[in-house]
Homo-oligomer: A and B are copies of this chain.
């Protein structure tokens, strides 16, 4: 496949920034260079977390490394992100997040005060999300071989139900619910990186999402699929689901909220908010008859107070995501080939 990448293509194949985007290049990397070597049925699900039973307990297990730059950004920092990122991946598997690991790669020269500020933030975030950081590791690399601080968290959660939440359970006619406005995290980080100042300062939406998800499940809502909208944003998440399930997802553009400050920053930087990372937003797929009860539950939680239906699942070939604007014009959302915003999480 020939990829139209904004970065120069080298005939000797090497890792490019686009391989970390979550878009087409990332998927190729996984499919061609990683998956064939460590193939197993768990990885085929391509879900945010793996699920398995050990000794009768049904568990979810996930991992994420965080390389965000800068370490501190409006509305959060790398420590908070590292806790909530893994908490959210477990929640998107329908699991109750319980135990997290924390592994640090520190660059020689990092001020101890910076590390302590990040650890304090991790501690607060863990308390907020009701999880414990139970095991860890610390490595140090020489000056110039890191960028201050990278954090990996892995997490274990408990599945308290026997629903199979994932792309495979998406049904024709399902409603797609979106938990809030999009693009805040990516634009807050970009604005702080580029030194942009706006009248209304942009704040990341970084937050734990397990509470509304567990409430949906405990209320007996038959949740078909969940996905948080991190790297690559709403569009990338939905294209992945459409492809995994082989369905057409039809969206109403006017239903997707974008804050004016996010819209302004996107215009200034030439970015599309549909592809900008979020760290506190997710989509839920439910049958039409459960749409209202699901919305009622989501509206009770601050983090999903502005949930809305943004579209639905139509039977179609090929699998795709199509967005209709208020004039009735349709546009196809596809994966971006490479990198829109490097090191956003």
Give A residues with C-beta under 8 Å from B: 12-20, 26, 29-30, 33-34, 37-40, 42-43, 49-50, 52, 54-59, 61-67, 98-99, 101-113, 115-116, 119-120, 122-123, 126, 132-142, 144-147, 150, 152, 154, 156, 158, 342-343
Contact A43 B136 (CB under 8 A): yes
Contact B99 A50 (CB under 8 A): yes
Q: 4 closest pairs, A vs B, by CB?
A: A20-B140, A154-B154, A63-B101, A57-B57
- Report B-chain residues with C-beta under 8 Å of the C-beta of A62: 101, 135
- Report B-chain residues with C-beta under 8 Å of the C-beta of A144: 144
Q: Least Cβ distance of A65 to chain B in Å? A: 4
Bound: A29/B149 CA distance, A: 15
- Report B-chain residues with C-beta under 8 Å of the C-beta of A39: 123
- Report B-chain residues with C-beta under 8 Å of the C-beta of A140: 15-20, 342
- Report B-chain residues with C-beta under 8 Å of the C-beta of A116: 33, 37
Bound: A102/B139 CA distance, A: 17
Q: Least Cβ distance of A114 to chain B in Å? A: 9
Bound: A191/B106 CA distance, A: 25
Q: Least Cβ distance of A87 to chain B in Å? A: 14
Q: Least Cβ distance of A165 to chain B in Å? A: 15
Contact B50 A134 (CB under 8 A): yes
Most buried by B among A63, A123, A126: A63
Bound: A70/B240 CA distance, A: 36
Known contacts: A14-B112, A109-B14. The answer to whether A119 contacts B63 by CB under 8 A is no
Contact B115 A64 (CB under 8 A): no
Query: Which of B59, B64, B102, B158 is the one whose CB lies under 8 Å from A38?
Result: B102
Query: Which of B58, B66, B108, B133 is the one whose CB lies under 8 Å from A17?
Result: B108
Closest to A63 in B: B101
- Report B-chain residues with C-beta under 8 Å of the C-beta of A113: 13
Q: Least Cβ distance of A51 to chain B in Å? A: 9
Contact A54 B98 (CB under 8 A): yes
Q: Least Cβ distance of A310 to chain B in Å? A: 27
Known contacts: A20-B106, A38-B126, A55-B57. The answer to whether A13 contacts B137 by CB under 8 A is no
Contact B154 A147 (CB under 8 A): no
Known contacts: A103-B152, A105-B150, A154-B101. The answer to whether A135 contacts B49 by CB under 8 A is yes
